[in-house]
Structure 1
Amino acid sequence: MFIDKFKDKRVYLPFVIVITSVLALVIMISLKQPPEEKEADQVAPLVKVEPIRFEPMQLDVNSHGLVTPKFKTQLVAQISGEISFIAPEFVRGGFVKQGQILARINDSDYQAYVIEARAALLSAKAGLQQEQALGAVAKDEWSRIKDRKPTALSLREPQLAQEQARVHAAEAALARAESNLERTIIRAPFHALIESRQVSLGSYVNPGNAVGEALSVSEAEVRLPVADNQLKFLINEGVGAKVILRGELQGQQTSWEAKIIRTEGVIDNQSRMAYLVAELVNPYGLQVPKPGDQTLSQATEHPLRFGSYVRAEVEGISLPQAALVPRHLIVDGKVPTLTAEHTLLFKPVTSLREQGTMVVVVDGVSDQDQLIVSALQYPVEGMPLRLPSEKKASVEKPNELNSTESTEQKEALAKKSD
C-alpha cells in the first residue's frame, strides 16, 4: 500500500516541478519593472563665439623703404695741384659742418697769380689815367681851333676805350686768380657725413678729379612704395601725412617720426607701385654747431642711419565706426553669427580692406553680434547650436538618471533577498 502511494507521487512530481517553475517565472516577469525612458541626447553642434566690436578706426597704409640722404654731393677739385692739408674729420663716417675746410691744395702758385693780376690791374689803371689826361689836353687844344672839327682819333677816344678795356681785362684776371686761390680750399657744402675720401696728403689732383663724397645730415628721405589701390585710404594721396618709421637700432625696436613731402607722380614699370617720399629732419640728431665750433656733436641716442631698412605706417583716413573680423570667417561675403534663439545665421557684410589676417568691416553686422569663430562641419542656416556653458548641464543630467536607476536596483535586490 505504501509502495503504491509512493509510485503515484513519482508520477505527479515532474508535473508539480514544471508548474512551480512556470508560476515562479510568471511572478518574476510580473515583478520586473520596464526600463525607464531616457531623454534623447542633444545633437546640436557645440560652437565658440566672440562679440563683434565696432569702434573708431584709423586706416594706416603700411610700406617700407631705405633711408637715404636728401642731398648727396661728390666733392671734386676745380684746379690742379698737390694736396697739402686734410682735416681730421675728413674721413669716412666723419661729421663736418657747413663751410668747414676739408682739404687744401698747395696755393703758392695761385698766390703768385693773384699778385701778378693785381700788378697788371694797377698798370692798366695807370695807363687809363694817362690816356684820360691826354684826351683832356687834346680836347682843350681843339677847342681853340674854330675853322675845323676834331675827329675821334684826334680827341684820343679810341685810345681811351682801349685803356678802359685793358682795365676791365685786368680786373677779370684778378677775379679769376682770386677765385682759383679760393678753390685751393675744399669746403663742406652743408652739414654732412663723409661717405668716402679719394685723396691723401701729397696726392696730385686735376680739375674734375674726385676728392670725396658728402651726405647731407640735415634731412633724410625714405622712398615708400604703395599699391595703387591703397592710395584711396590716404588724404591728398598722402602729401602732408604723418609717418611713423620703425626699425632696429642696436638690436632694439625704435621709431622715428617723418612726414610725406611729395609723390613721384608715376607708376614704376617693374613693381607697378606708386611711390611716396617721406622726409625726416635731422636724422642723426646732431646738435646745431655754434659759430665758433668746428665739428658737429650728436645730441640723441637714437640716430636713423643712412641705408637703414625701416617699416613705415602712413597716416590714413579715419572711420567713425568699423570692426575687425578674421579673414577666414568670411565666405562668399558672409559671416556666421549666433542668434538669440541659438541658431545659425549667415550675415552679408561690407568689407573695406584686408589688414593682415583681419578684414575691416563697416556694414552688415552690428556691435556685440555673436560671431561664430569655431569651425562647423556641415553648416546649415537655421540649425540649432549650443555654447560650452550648455554642454555642462547636458552632461550632469545623465549622471542623475544613472544614480536614480542604481538606487532602485539596490532596493529590488534587497526585497529578493528578504
Structure 2
Amino acid sequence: MSDSPKSKPKWRWIRIILTIIICLGIISASVAAVVVINQTEPTAQKIESTRKSAALVETMTVERGAFSPQIVVLGSVEPASDVVLSPRVSGQVLLMGPKLVPGGMIKKGDLLLKIDPADFENAVSIKESELQQTRAALKIEEGRQSVAKQELALLEGTIEGADRELVLREPQIASIRAEVSAAEAAVQRAKLDLERTEIFAPFDAHVMSRSVNVGSQVRPGDELAQLVGVEEYWIMASVPIRHLKWIQFQDKDESGSEVVLRNTDTWPAGATRTGTVARMIGTLDPQTRLASVLITVQDPLALKSDAPPLILETLMETHIAGRTIEDVIRLNRGYIHEGDTVWVMKDDKLEIRRVEIVFRDGEDAYIQTGLNSGDEIVITNLATVAEGIGLRKAEATPIQTEDSDEVLD
C-alpha cells in the first residue's frame, strides 16, 4: 500500500523536528561536560621554595709592600765608540796588520797600516840639515857680537842707546834665533809626519769594514777602515714621557736604573744581558713623541763571558727597573676591570671596589688606595657581575638555601 500524496509533507516535517531535537541534545550535553570539567580541575598552589647557588671562584690574597715596576720598551743597539780611520799623510800603503779585516778584533796600540816612510825620512834629514845650518849661523853671529862688545868698550860714552843695539848686533842675533826656532819646528813636523806613516789602533775595537789594500795610494781624508769600540755599546730606548719620573738616571752620587735586555728572535731561550740607564737625550721623536733614553752595556760582544753578543742596529726588548714605589699593592693587570675596579670576596659575597692606580707596567698595576692587605681578589671570570652576589671558593661545599618563589603544578 502506497502513501498518499497528502501524507508526504507530514513526514518531512517530523524528520526536521527530530533532527533539531537531536542537535540541541548534543549541544546541551557538550555544555554540561565543559561545566563539569571546569568545576572539577585542580587549582595550582604557591609553595614558598627558594634555591640559591653561590658562584664557584678562585681567589688570591694581596699584601701591601714596596715594589719596583718594569718599564718595557724597545731600544736600538748603537756603538759608543765609532771611528773612521783616515791617514794624515799621503803615500802608498806598504803593509797592513793581519787583524785589519772585517770582523777582526784588534787591541789598542796594534799596528793597523803603514805608509811608505821613505819620503818622510828624507824630509827629516833635510830639515835636520837646515837646523844645523841655522845653529851654525847663530854661533857665527854670537862670535861677531862678542867682538862688537870689545869694540864698544873702547868707545864707551860716545854711542847712544839705540845705536848700541846695532853695534852689538842684537837685531841680527834675534833674527837668527828665530830662524833656529823655525828650523827646530820644521824638524819636529817632519818627524811627526814620519810617525804618522804608521797607524795604530786607538782603542780595543771590532773592525766593521776596510777600504784599502797593500799598494793603495792614500791621502788625508781617505777612508781606510771603520772601527767600533768593544768596551761599551749604547742602547737608545724610546720611553713615554709619563714614565720618565720612574727612571733613575746616572749621576755622581747614584747609578742609573738597572736594565735587562732580551732578544727572543736570535738569543737562546731565557738568555739576557744587563745594562744601566745613563742619561736622557733632551729631545722628543717628532713622529712618536717619545723621549730617548741612553743605556750603556759593558762588554757588548761578550769577550769576557758566555753571554750572547749584541749586534749593532738590532731592536732589543728593554726592561728598565723603575724607582721603588712604597706602600702599594701589585696586581696583575688582567684582574683590573672596567673603570679601574677590582672584584673582592668578602663574607662570601662579591664587592666591586674602585681603586687608584699610580702606575701600570706591561704586566702589573700598582694600587695606592682601594685595597688593603689581606683582601681576597677574585681571579675567576664571572658570567654575572653584581654587587653582593654569593661566592664560594673552589674547595668549599656548595650552599643551597630556600628563599625565592617558584610555581609548582
Q: TM-score range by the shorter chain?
A: 0.7 to 0.9
Corresponding position: 1:331 with 2:338: yes
Q: Which amino acid aligns with 1:346?
A: I
Task: Give, in whole Å, the separation in 1 of the partners of 2:250 and 2:300.
Answer: 24
Aligned to 1:171: 184
Confirm whether residue 117 of structure 1 aligns to residue 127 of structure 2. yes
Q: Give the aligned partner of residue 261 of structure 2.
A: 245
- TM value normalised by structure 2: 0.77
CA distance 1:309–1:333, change in 2 (3 Å): closer
**Of 361, 374, 391, the match for 2:367:** 361
Alignment of 1:164-313 (within 5 A): 164-235=177-248, 240-247=256-263, 251-285=268-302, 298-307=303-312, 308-313=314-319
For residue 167 of structure 2, give the secondary structure of its aligned residue in structure 1. coil
Does 2:351 correspond to 1:345?
Answer: yes
Mapping for residues 374-389 of structure 1, pairs under 5 Å: 374-386=380-392
Task: Give the deviation of 1:241 after TM superposition.
Answer: 1.9
Deviation of 1:333 after TM superposition, in Å, equals 2.9
- Say which of 131, 142, 167 aligns to 2:141: 131
**Residue deviations 1:337-375 (CA, integer Å, cap 9, x gap):** 2321x3332122122233335432232123343333344
2 CA distance for matches of 1:222 and 1:143?
A: 79
Report which of the two has the higher share of helix.
1
Q: Deviations over 1:48-88 (max 9, x none)?
A: 13123225322122223122221111100111110010001
Gaps in structure 1 of 5+ consecutive residues: 1-36, 286-297, 395-418
What letter corresponds to residue 150 of structure 2 in structure 1?
D
Q: What do you get for the CA RMSD once the two structures are aligned?
A: 2.9
The percentage of counterpart residues that share the same residue type is: 26
Q: Is 1:54 the equivalent of 2:70? A: no
> Counterparts of 2:375 and 2:59 in 1: how far apart (Å)?
8
Deviation at 1:110, TM superposition (A): 0.5
Using the TM superposition, give the Cα deviation of residue 45 of structure 1 relative to its aligned residue in structure 2, in angstroms: 5.4
Retained in 1: the 8 A contact 2:249–2:277?
A: no
- SS of residue in 2 equivalent to 1:152: helix
**Matched residue, 2:92:** 82
Moved more, 379-388 or 62-71: 379-388
Match of 2:154 among 144, 147, 154: 144
Cα distance between partner residues in 2 of 1:50 and 1:182: 76
Q: Give the structure 1 partner of residue 21 of structure 2.
A: none
Once residues 278 and 92 of structure 1 are traced to their aligned partners in structure 2, the CA distance between those partners, rounded to angstroms, is 26
Aligned partner of residue 62 in structure 1, secondary structure: strand
Q: Give the alignment partner of residue 170 of structure 2, picking from 157, 172, 192.
A: 157
Tell me how far apart the structure 1 counterparts of residues 297 and 390 of structure 2 sit (CA, whole Å): 58
Identify which range, 268-277 or 170-179, moves more after superposition: 268-277
Q: Which amino acid aligns with 1:224?
A: A
TM-score, reference length from structure 1:
0.75
Q: Point out where structure 2 has 5 or more consecutive residues left out of the alignment.
A: 1-45, 401-409
Which structure would you say has the larger RCO, counting Cα contacts within 8 Å and 6 or more residues apart? 2
